[in-house]
């Protein structure tokens, strides 16, 4: 195959630039993570109508909602549904890590989805996001 192929918003960084790594099954994990976050947040990961690219970067929005609000920011969720939504967002954020080696395998994703969210750690803020002042600067990862 010659040239980059894929759907905008779901393409892993290594697909459009070899500086991020090589294309592998982890490229599909990236796409899966974006889809998980879209499903939970009920928002598309790309909004062509926005002028500012910092507003367009969807993972930054999702991460900030979870870190700053402590929940996914979706109205009318029961406590149980909110716990499931948080778990799916955290897994999605792990899936979209810039370094493909930092992304979980699909079998690990299935284990995380089936398991308890108590031990699930929030990954580092997505690398491709725009810099902002964070309320939690003590650690790169934290529990949800």
Say if 90 falls within a structural domain. Answer: yes
* Mean pLDDT in residue range 21-50: 80
Q: Which tokens is 138 given?
A: 């003590």
Say if 8 falls within a structural domain. Answer: no
User: pLDDT above 70 covers what percent of the chain?
Assistant: 66
Say if 7 falls within a structural domain. Answer: no
Say if 6 falls within a structural domain. Answer: no
Say if 4 falls within a structural domain. Answer: no
pLDDT at 18: 75
How many structural domains is the chain composed of? 1
| CATH code of the domain covering residue 89 | 1.10.510.10
Say if 44 falls within a structural domain. Answer: yes
Q: What's the pLDDT band for 31 if we cut at 50, 70, 90?
A: very high
Supply the range of the domain harboring residue 70. Answer: 13-143
Say if 73 falls within a structural domain. Answer: yes
The radius of gyration of the chain's CA atoms, rounded to the nearest angstrom, is 15
What's the pTM?
0.73
| pLDDT per position as a tens digit, 68-116 | 766 666 667 788 888 888 899 999 999 999 899 999 999 999 999 998 8
Say if 89 falls within a structural domain. Answer: yes
């Amino acid at each position: 195959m010659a040239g980059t192929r894929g759907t905008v918003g779901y393409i892993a960084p290594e697909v459009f630039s070899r500086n991020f790594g090589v294309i592998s099954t982890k490229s599909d994990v990236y796409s899966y993570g974006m889809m998980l976050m879209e499903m939970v947040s009920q928002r598309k990961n790309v909004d062509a109508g926005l002028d500012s690219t910092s507003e367009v970067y969807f993972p930054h929005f999702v991460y900030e909602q979870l870190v700053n609000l402590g929940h996914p920011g979706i109205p009318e969720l029961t406590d149980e549904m909110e716990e499931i939504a948080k778990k799916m967002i955290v897994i999605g954020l792990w899936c979209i890590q810039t370094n493909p080696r930092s992304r979980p395998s699909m079998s690990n994703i299935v284990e995380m989805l089936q398991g308890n969210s108590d031990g699930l750690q929030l990954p580092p803020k997505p690398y491709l996001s725009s810099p902002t002042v964070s309320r939690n600067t003590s650690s790169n990862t934290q529990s949800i």
